[in-house]
Amino acid sequence: MERDAAIIEVSLNEAAMRVQNPHVPYSPNECADDALRCADAGAAVVHWHARDPVTGVQRLDDAALYGRALELMRPSGVLAYPSYPPWPVGREDRLAHVWTLRERHGLELAPLDLGSVGIVVWDERTCSFGPGLDLLREHGVVANPLPFLLDALEHSYRLSLVPSVAAFDVGFTRTMVLLARAGKLRPPLFLKIFLSGAWAVGPFPTEEALDFHLQQIPPDLDVEWVLVPYALDDPALVERLCRHALARGGGIRLGIGDDPEAFPESTNAALVERAARWVAEAGRPLASPADVRRRFGLEATPGRRGDR
């Protein structure tokens, strides 16, 4: 793809509930239909969580739900990738569903957070920590220790998956650089930089925070990065951060999954259309799914929409 082309990624649902936005997709069919609409609007990459089709409860390692959605998304051409549980579940491999999705459904991207982080939920309106403190006594840390990262990267490359790595704090970006220097991450790297609000992890979500992440990346390291404005309730702040990311040469991720409080009535496709407009106003071309596949050395998928 053109080196100046901007990737638009969309987060379909994350943990958002329909009380926050009535358009949050739950079932595989709903997620796939939403992905097709987003692809038509300009999205090249889709991220989603498997959810109970009726209640919306998270099913983060449910290979069957993910697999059904992935098959239904195939005509859209987008590169779609799942999530995984934030902490260890028994002795099972937390990424077992990812390996299954690769082998049975042709998954192309593997999700991987670049470190562990304490969960802090903040309510700005009441200046207090959010609900769920009792749960945090048992599960208060998103656990991604270094041995887990190394094993996951080795397994991803063995299966010819491209890691989609996430940085929730500046130290995560530093870890990415060190993993690349050690030969454990192979350029070009696909990095998501999270700037979070109510999920109060990492620096406050500002343009300077994004710049500080970028300053950790050596100029000779080939990185394709995407900004993720996360858990924000101010649409003006989301737009400001996205426009700054585009001016700095990155891509952007938008979606009601990431920011349901900022966009309580919007659809994901409408947000992708908004993001595509920001890309055009930044004077940059829009990356297609085929562009992204070429960028990361993935096989072309003839016959899919968007693979031109």
Count how many domains the chain has: 1
pLDDT band at 308 (very low <50, low <70, confident <90, very high): very low
- The CATH code of the domain that includes 106 is 3.20.20.70
On whether residue 150 sits in a domain, the answer given is yes
Q: What is the pLDDT of residues 5-53, one digit of tens each?
A: 999 999 999 999 999 999 999 999 999 999 999 999 999 999 999 999 9
pTM (predicted TM-score): 0.95
Query: Among positive and negative, which fits the CA dihedral 33, 35, 38, 40?
Result: negative
On whether residue 307 sits in a domain, the answer given is no
Q: What is the pLDDT of residues 162-208, one digit of tens each?
A: 999 999 999 999 999 999 999 999 999 999 999 999 999 999 999 99
- Determine the structural domain holding residue 72 and report its residue range: 8-295
On whether residue 308 sits in a domain, the answer given is no
Q: What is the pLDDT of residues 74-102, one digit of tens each?
A: 999 999 999 999 987 665 689 999 999 99
On whether residue 26 sits in a domain, the answer given is yes
On whether residue 249 sits in a domain, the answer given is yes
pLDDT on residue 81: 98
| Closest to 305 (Cα-Cα) out of 13, 114, 43 | 43
% of the chain residues with pLDDT over 90? 89
CA geometry: angle at 220 spanning 214 and 225, to 5°? 40
List the beta bridge partners of residue 167.
Answer: 193
On whether residue 137 sits in a domain, the answer given is yes
Q: How many CB atoms lie within 10 A of CB 187?
A: 12
pLDDT on residue 91: 57
Q: What is the pLDDT of residues 222-262, one digit of tens each?
A: 999 999 999 999 999 999 999 999 999 999 999 999 999 99
On whether residue 304 sits in a domain, the answer given is no
On whether residue 30 sits in a domain, the answer given is yes
Q: What are phi and psi of 6, to 5 degrees?
A: -100, 130
